[in-house]
Chains A and B, each alone.
Chain A
Amino acid sequence: MRRTLIESLTRGPLTEPAPAPDEASLAEIAKSLDRAARARLGRSLSIREVDAGSCNGCELEIHALGNAFYDLERFGLHFVASPRHADVLMVTGPVTKNMREALLRTYNATPDPKWVIAVGDCAGNGGVFAGSYAVAGGVSDAIPVDLHIPGCPPSPTALLKGLIALLEGTNRNARKA
Chain B
Amino acid sequence: MALLDRIPHSEIADRHRPWPRASVTDEGWGCAIDLLAGGELTLLGLWGDAPDVHMALLDERANDAAVVSYRSKDGKYPSVGARHAPAIRLERAMRDLFGLEATGSPDARPWLDLGFWDVRHPLGKQRPAQKPAPYAFLPAEGEGLHQIPVGPVHAGIIEPGHFRFTANGEHVVRLEQRLGYVHKGIESLMAGAALDAAAKLAGRTSGDSTVAYAYAFAQAAEAALQMTPPPRAAYLRAVMAELERLANHFGDIGAICNDASFALMHAQCGILRERTLRAAQACFGHRLMMDVIVPGGVARDIAPEGVAVLRALLAEVRKTFPRLVELYDNTASLQDRTVSTGIVRADYARRFGAGGYVGRGSGRSFDARRNLGYAPYADLKFEVPVLGTGDVNARVWIRIREVEQSLELVEQILDRMPGGNVRAAAAPKGRIGEGVGIAEAFRGDVMVWLRLDGKGRVARCHLRDASWFQWPLLENAIEGNIVADFPLCNKSFNCSYSGHDL
In the docked arrangement, what's the CA distance between A9 and B235, Å?
Answer: 40
Indicate whether A43 reaches chain B with its CB closer than 8 angstroms: no
B183 touches A68 (CB 8 A): no
B152 touches A102 (CB 8 A): yes
B116 touches A98 (CB 8 A): yes
Indicate whether A147 reaches chain B with its CB closer than 8 angstroms: no
Indicate whether B159 reaches chain A with its CB closer than 8 angstroms: yes
Indicate whether A108 reaches chain B with its CB closer than 8 angstroms: no
Indicate whether B119 reaches chain A with its CB closer than 8 angstroms: yes
**A1-20: contact bitstring with B at CB < 8 Å (1 yes, 0 no)?**
10111000000001000000
Name which of A33-41, A45-53, A138-146, A161-169 contacts chain B: A45-53
Given the interface pairs A5-B264, A49-B157, the reply to whether A55 lies near B205 with Cβ below 8 Å is yes
How many A-B residue contacts, CB cutoff 8 Å? Answer: 143
Contact residues, B197-213 vs A (CB, 8 A): 197, 200-201, 204-208, 210
A96 touches B183 (CB 8 A): yes
Given the interface pairs A54-B498, A79-B157, A99-B160, the reply to whether A133 lies near B186 with Cβ below 8 Å is no
Which residue of chain A is the closest to B189 with respect to CB atoms?
A132
Which residue of chain A is the closest to B247 with respect to CB atoms?
A60
Given the interface pairs A1-B264, A66-B270, A97-B117, the reply to whether A134 lies near B183 with Cβ below 8 Å is yes
A55 touches B156 (CB 8 A): no
B496 touches A67 (CB 8 A): no
In the assembled complex, the CB of B329 is this many whole angstroms from the nearest CB of chain A, namely 11
In the assembled complex, the CB of A77 is this many whole angstroms from the nearest CB of chain B, namely 13
B271 touches A98 (CB 8 A): no
In the docked arrangement, what's the CA distance between A36 and B118, Å?
Answer: 45
In the assembled complex, the CB of A80 is this many whole angstroms from the nearest CB of chain B, namely 9
Given the interface pairs A68-B271, A132-B185, the reply to whether A82 lies near B155 with Cβ below 8 Å is yes
Contacts of B498 in A (CB 8 A): 54-56
Contacts of A42 in B (CB 8 A): none
B323 touches A134 (CB 8 A): no
Q: State the interface size on chain A (CB cutoff 8 A).
A: 51
Contacts of A51 in B (CB 8 A): 157-160, 182
In the docked arrangement, what's the CA distance between A82 and B154, Å?
Answer: 9
**B168-202: contact bitstring with A at CB < 8 Å (1 yes, 0 no)?**
00000000000011111110110000000100110
Contacting residue for B153 out of A1, A50, A60, A131, CB 8 A:
A50
A102 touches B117 (CB 8 A): no
Indicate whether B88 reaches chain A with its CB closer than 8 angstroms: no
Indicate whether A111 reaches chain B with its CB closer than 8 angstroms: no
Contacts of B160 in A (CB 8 A): 51-52, 99, 102
Contacts of B331 in A (CB 8 A): 1
Contacting residue for A4 out of B159, B268, B273, B497, CB 8 A:
B268
In the docked arrangement, what's the CA distance between A102 and B274, Å?
Answer: 32
Given the interface pairs A97-B117, A98-B116, A134-B184, the reply to whether A64 lies near B274 with Cβ below 8 Å is yes
Contacting residue for B157 out of A63, A69, A105, CB 8 A:
A63
Contact residues, A43-95 vs B (CB, 8 A): 49-64, 66-69, 79, 81-83, 93-94
Q: Which residues of chain A have a CB within 8 Å of any CB of chain B? A: 1, 3-5, 14, 49-64, 66-69, 79, 81-83, 93-94, 96-102, 105-106, 127-129, 131-135, 152-153, 155
12 new A-B pairs (CB below 8 Å) besides A4-B268, A67-B274, A132-B186? A51-B157, A51-B159, A51-B182, A55-B206, A56-B159, A56-B496, A57-B288, A67-B267, A133-B119, A134-B184, A152-B290, A153-B288
Nearest 5 CB-CB pairs, A to B?
A57-B207, A132-B185, A134-B185, A81-B155, A67-B270
A and B contact pairs by CB, cutoff 8 A, 16 listed:
A4-B323, A54-B159, A54-B182, A56-B496, A57-B207, A67-B270, A83-B153, A93-B182, A97-B117, A98-B114, A98-B116, A98-B180, A102-B160, A105-B153, A128-B200, A134-B122
